[in-house]
């Protein structure tokens, strides 16, 4: 049974859920495996992706706290900032975005969409996430001094409320499995600020699901990301009154390449492979790298081909137009 907390926590309806759950027939045939895809790229709102699920809880909390302004930060091509800008506009809140990067941005992809959404954009000439977050905090202080009621959202919405959305998504996945009588043993997806990963793990611990939840790192080293996931998981688990099992936190950082947002050859190949085999578009920052990992782990028998495997497509393909 689903925990009451999921039903009782305010949520603003933005996403089209349940998202489709499909068997990737051509890829399964090609790799001689059974690969399913959870299409969280199709959450719909403002071009969709995993961040829509998180934003449902965060924007509801902002409204609950009578905020008139939300602030968050990210890279110019941030999917989360696109969704924050859209959710704020949709619910009538002012949105301030701290967007960072050393290079002057071009009006393409997510940055183009974010501009269409009317958010106030504050540029920071730095690639460091810490600088963007510091800027967010000082802007929040300034706006509060002007009498605004500000709701701050850390990078990627990876706070317990954001993670809660992926606890709910985990229950949705179990329903998907049941409907087609599948028994997957591995769930893989792109992991970066850790909220998606933490939420799925809480779902595993709440339900006693036996499979493995494997985050494919898109930005940080496995050690750093695991530690962050542990912290978010701890805070989120406390809401449910359960403990966590750090041994279940699995991060594979072997597919990042030179760094965050820098495409790898394997990622580019995975993008073409998924497009040509299934008509599914991935992105070069997150889902393409995760798909490269899925393909490689199956091809190299790192994951047993006899096991049913789930790839969560977390979206982000707007980036292909960047």
Ligand X SMILES: Cc1ncc(COP(=O)(O)O)c(C=O)c1O
The residues binding ligand X (CB under 6 A) are 49-51, 79-80, 156, 158, 190-197, 286-287, 314-316
Q: CA-to-CA distance for 221 and 206, rounded, in angstroms?
A: 27
Residues in the chain: 322
- The least CB distance from residue 251 to ligand X, in Å, is 10
Which of 203, 316 has the CB closer to ligand X? 316
Which of 143, 199 has the CB closer to ligand X? 199
DSSP code of 167? Answer: H
192 tagged catalytic: no
Which of 143, 173 has the CB closer to ligand X? 173
- The least CB distance from residue 205 to ligand X, in Å, is 18
- Helices 195-207 and 160-179, interaxial angle, to 10°? 60
From residue 36, give the alpha-carbon distance in Å to each of 57, 109, 273, 313: 27, 28, 15, 10
- The least CB distance from residue 316 to ligand X, in Å, is 3
Among 73, 78, 165, 192, the one annotated catalytic: 78
Which of 143, 186 has the CB closer to ligand X? 186
- The least CB distance from residue 157 to ligand X, in Å, is 7
- Burial class, 263, CB count within 10 angstroms (exposed 0-12 / middle 13-18 / buried 19+): middle
> β-strands 150-153, 69-75: how paired?
parallel
Return the residue nearest ligand X (CB atom).
316
- The least CB distance from residue 199 to ligand X, in Å, is 8
Which of 143, 163 has the CB closer to ligand X? 163
**Strands of 94-100's sheet, edge to edge?**
120-124, 94-100, 69-75, 150-153
Q: CA-to-CA distance for 50 and 247, rounded, in angstroms?
A: 25
Q: Catalytic residue numbers?
A: 78
């Amino acid at each position: 049974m689903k925990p009451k907390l999921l039903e009782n926590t305010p949520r603003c309806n933005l996403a089209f859920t349940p998202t489709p759950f499909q068997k990737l027939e051509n890829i399964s045939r090609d790799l001689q495996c059974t690969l399913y895809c959870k299409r969280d790229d199709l959450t719909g709102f403002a071009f969709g992706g995993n961040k829509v699920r998180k934003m449902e809880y965060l924007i509801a909390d902002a409204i609950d706290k009578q905020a008139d302004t939300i602030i968050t930060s990210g890279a110019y091509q941030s999917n989360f900032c696109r969704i924050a800008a859209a959710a704020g506009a949709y619910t009538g809140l002012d949105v301030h975005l701290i967007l960072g990067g050393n290079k002057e941005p071009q009006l393409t992809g997510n940055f183009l969409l974010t501009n269409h959404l009317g958010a106030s954009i504050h540029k920071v000439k730095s690639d460091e996430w810490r600088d963007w977050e510091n800027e967010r905090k000082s802007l929040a202080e300034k706006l509060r001094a002007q009498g605004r009621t500000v709701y701050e959202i850390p990078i990627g919405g990876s706070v317990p409320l954001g993670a809660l959305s992926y606890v709910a998504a985990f229950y949705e996945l179990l329903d998907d499995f049941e409907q087609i009588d599948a028994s997957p043993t591995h769930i893989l997806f792109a992991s970066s600020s850790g909220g998606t990963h933490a939420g799925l793990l809480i779902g595993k611990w709440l339900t006693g699901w036996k499979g493995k939840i494997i985050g494919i790192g898109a930005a940080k080293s496995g050690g750093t990301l695991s530690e962050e996931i542990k912290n978010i998981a701890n805070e989120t688990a406390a809401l449910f009154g359960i403990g966590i099992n750090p041994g279940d936190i699995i991060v594979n950082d072997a597919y990042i390449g030179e760094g965050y947002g820098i495409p790898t050859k394997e990622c580019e190949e995975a993008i073409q492979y998924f497009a040509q085999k299934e008509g599914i578009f991935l992105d070069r920052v997150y889902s393409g790298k995760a798909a490269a990992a899925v393909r490689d782990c199956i091809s190299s028998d790192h994951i047993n081909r006899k096991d049913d495997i789930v790839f969560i497509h977390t979206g982000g393909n707007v980036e292909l137009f960047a």
